[in-house]
Amino acid sequence: MKEQLYFLNMILFSFLISCCNDDDMMIKEPDGMVVDCSEMDCSTQEDFYGVGVMNGECWESDFNHLEIFDSSWKLMITLGKEESNGIDGRLFFIINELTSLSDTIWLGFSYSNVSTPNLIASVGYTYLEDHSIVGDFDFSPDDELTYNDFLIIDYFNQDTSIVEGHFQVRFPQRSVNHFVNAPDSMNIQCGRFRVSEY
């Protein structure tokens, strides 16, 4: 019985998605939700970079990379920061194969092994010590989309594997070990990046 209800819900969902015009469902830039970034100068001279305003302060990644997959993931963008005491922080975006890179991509919780057609990408900020996770900021399956957290791909060249974009995210969940020097909350605004496949 549960399988039949699940199947009927999937058919109904597919019908609703197919009958709607993309212009009605998605806008290129979220209106009224974006901070005026022209007043915040967090620039860099690097060819490849990740910058933004984290909790009101300029933040710049120390390393970044792009991974392009052939499986259910389309792209994984990582912006890394060497934090302190041998602990690295990594902001990552995982975009699945069904997500259009020409629309606004909403950030939240998404199972990485399940392709969802509703333009949701997984995002998180993870602290690593010797390849072990010692803390993170992220979203849980119970968190609803705010439509304030977004990623927009401004440029993607498949020949050179270069991706540029901008984003904004406020993480609702914090789970960090006591020895990690992490803020109480994490809000990144005016985020920009230019990354390439390594």
3-state secondary structure the chain: CHHHHHHHHHHHHHHHHHHCCHHHHCCCCCCCCCCCHHHCCCCCCCCCEEEEEECCEEEECCEEEEEECCCCEEEEEEEEEEEECCEEEEEEEEEECCCCCCCCEEEECCCCCCCCCCCEEEEEEEEEECCEEEEEEECCCCCCCCCCCEEEEEEEECCCCEEEEEEEEEECEEEECCCCCCCCCEEEEEEEEEEEEC
- Hey, what are 30's tokens? 């979220």
pLDDT confidence of 8, banded at 50, 70, 90? Answer: very low
Q: Is it the case that residue 25 has pLDDT exceeding 50?
A: no
Distance CA 115, CA 71 (A): 10
Measured CA to CA, the distance from residue 196 to residue 198 in angstroms comes to 6
The predicted-structure confidence for 166-189, as pLDDT tens digits, reads as follows: 999 999 999 999 999 899 999 999
pLDDT level of residue 111 (50, 70, 90 thresholds)? low
Structure tokens at 110: 């998404």
Model confidence pLDDT, tens digit, residues 142-151: 888 888 899 9
pLDDT of residue 24: 37
More confident residue, 1 or 192: 192
The answer to whether the beta carbons of residues 105 and 86 sit under 8 Å apart is: no
pLDDT digits (tens, 9 = 90+) for 59-93: 999 999 999 877 656 889 999 999 878 899 999 99
Sequence-separated contacts (24+) of 9-15 with Cβ below 8 Å: none
Asked if residues 88 and 149 have their Cβ atoms less than 8 Å apart, the reply is: no
Task: Judge contact between 28 and 103, C-beta under 8 A.
Answer: yes
134 vs 17, higher pLDDT = 134
Give the separation between CA 83 and CA 81, rounded to whole angstroms.
6
